Amino acid sequence: MDSISELLKSNETLVVDVRSHEEFVGGHVDGSINIPLNLIPLRVDELKGKGHIVLCCASGSRSGQATSFLRQYGIECTNAGAWTNVEYYKNN
């Protein structure tokens, strides 16, 4: 799949928000799950086999780090940048 919009239309895509729990509670993409960046290494096994993962955060920096890390474990994932971008792509 080429675009984030296409990925988000797939039933096999999981949106993971890597911001802190407090940031996530303040607003997030419907249906997304929250795994703060510092916990990603502890939850790699949980993310394997989940289909394609779209990662987001506040600006794209933390989700970029998470994307690089998860790819080292063979997990298909895409950095979508800010969670507000994902919200936009999902609704348009």
CA 91 from chain center: how many Å?
16
Reported as a pLDDT band with limits 50, 70 and 90, residue 1 is very low
Interval 8-50: pLDDT, tens = 888 889 999 999 999 999 999 999 999 999 999 999 999 998 9
CATH number of the domain residue 87 falls in: 3.40.250.10
> Domain tally for the chain?
1
C-alpha to C-alpha distances, 92 to 22, 28, 53, 60, nearest whole angstrom: 27, 16, 19, 20
What are the tens digits of pLDDT across the range 51-80? Answer: 899 999 999 999 999 999 999 999 999 999
Residue 60's closest CA among 37, 38, 39, 43? 37
Residue 85's pLDDT band (cuts 50, 70, 90): very high
Range of the domain at 29: 4-91
